[in-house]
């Protein structure tokens, strides 16, 4: 399964930089970069924190696909 993330899209709607989002959720900017590129799967807590910061349901930010 592959994680699909829409963080960048929703971050843009909120007018946040990667750095600003990172500070809101307590991680480094590099973590946001890796999340947006799909190279990192967040913990459940981090996923919820990001969804809250971006004012969107978690299932709109993160989905899984069977594609390899």
**CATH number of the domain encompassing residue 21:** 1.10.260.40
**Number of structural domains, the chain?**
1
Whether 24 and 62 have beta carbons less than 8 Å apart is answered as no
User: Residue 52: how many CB atoms within 10 A of its CB?
Assistant: 12
Give pLDDT tens digits for 27-58.
999 999 999 998 889 999 999 999 999 999 99
**Which residues constitute the domain of residue 53?**
2-65
**Structure pTM?**
0.89
pLDDT of residue 68 exceeding 90: no
Q: Give, in order, the Cα–Cα distances in Å from 46 to each of 3, 34, 41, 63, 66.
A: 14, 13, 10, 15, 23
């Amino acid at each position: 399964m592959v994680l699909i993330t829409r963080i960048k899209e929703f971050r843009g709607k909120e007018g946040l930089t990667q750095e600003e989002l990172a500070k809101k959720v307590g991680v480094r900017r590099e973590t946001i970069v890796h999340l947006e590129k799909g190279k990192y799967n967040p913990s459940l807590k981090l996923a919820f924190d990001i969804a809250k910061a971006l004012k969107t349901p978690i299932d709109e930010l993160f989905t899984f696909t069977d594609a390899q």
